Amino acid sequence: MELTFLGTGAGRPSRLRNVTSAALKLPAPSLSVWLFDAGEGTQHRLLQTPIKLNRIDRIFITHLHGDHVFGLPGLLSTRAYDGGVGPVTIYGPAGLQQMVECLFQLSGTYIGYDIQYVEAVEGVIFDDGNYRVEAAALEHRIPCFGYRVIESPRPGRLDAGKLKEAGVPFGPLYGKLKAGEDITLPDGREIKSSDVTGACIPGRIVTILGDTKPCANAVRLAEHADLLVHEATFAAGLEEKAELYGHSTTVQAAEAAKRAGARKLVMTHFSSRYELEDAVQLVDEARAIFPQTEAAFDGAVFDIPCQC
């Protein structure tokens, strides 16, 4: 599982940073890509990565400010040119479907695949047994959501010694046991998966927040997250400005990560007032409170290892 940042700037694109978007690549066997926000220019940034548009099958929009959504119609339109692409499901605040479909209608854009819209509400908005996504409202100038992606626990590794001792023949039965299924051998003996596998491998948690000032839901969504993506529009000392515009500072992002017990914080959504070299100072401010902090930049890829 890895997260690629396609845009890390706030408000408007700059020479150094595109506006907000990030792509979460899920591991095998899924290999799907989930997109979080699609600011202007997102599809251009995708062209600079190995990620293919036809692998994106779910898109999560945090809110309807242009720097988070103006790239969505173009991306969906380009996806239609690939031919043979599967359906896509888009989650986001009320009004998202109306905005996109109105633009398609007025521009005469034809989309040759199914688009399903799911209006984001607080609670579980997706669950296929392998991954669950929870949403919660944040505190910004317009309705805005954060998303918590929870990977289900996986069966532990097979114990070769125990398999040999039990007389399990190598082959398909191994796969069933690995998948957590109990089996019956030809001689009638039942072998329980739990008896020949190690402890379950905990699933990973990735929390991606939209624009927000400090709030309880941000901490709740980030609880024990392996990776927390939190906006840090302003440097420490600009808390009043952050409050005015519904944003957070580096210190406030770090405080949220600390309260949530997150494993790692990646800050993004930086004001265009900051140059790339300013990231060192911004990270230092946050690390004074939460040492496991990094600053995202366009094209950055963060691996999210399992806690094996």
User: Is 63 annotated as a binding-site member?
Assistant: yes
Q: Please say whether the beta carbons of 70 and 102 come within 8 A.
A: no
Q: Please say whether the beta carbons of 252 and 211 come within 8 A.
A: no
Tell me the backbone φ, ψ of residue 245, rounded to 5 degrees. -100, 5
User: Is 224 annotated as a binding-site member?
Assistant: no
User: Is 247 annotated as a binding-site member?
Assistant: no
284 catalytic per annotation: no
User: Is 44 annotated as a binding-site member?
Assistant: no
User: Is 269 annotated as a binding-site member?
Assistant: yes
Task: For the chain, give the secondary structure using H, E and C.
Answer: CEEEEEECECCCCCCCCCECEEEEECCCCCCCEEEECCCCCHHHHHCCCCCCHHHEEEEECCCCCHHHHCCHHHHHHHHHHCCCCCCEEEEECCCHHHHHHHHHHHHCCCCCCCEEEEECCCEEEEECCCEEEEEEECCCCCCCEEEEEEECCECCCECHHHHHHHCCCCCHHHHHHHCCCCEECCCCCEECHHHHECCCECCCEEEEECCCCCCHHHHHHCCCCCEEEEECCECCCCHHHHHHHCCCEHHHHHHHHHHHCCCCEEEECECCCCCHHHHHHHHHHHHCCCCCEEECCCCCEEECCCCC
Tokens at 30, concatenated: 């899924």
189: left (phi over 0), alpha (psi -120 to 50) or beta: beta
**Active-site option among 37, 57, 67, 195:** 67
User: For the CA atoms of the chain, what is the radius of gyration?
Assistant: 22
How many CB atoms within 10 Å of residue 158?
17
User: Is 68 annotated as a binding-site member?
Assistant: yes
Please list the active-site residues.
Answer: 67
Annotated binding site for Zn(2+): 63, 65, 67-68, 140, 211, 269
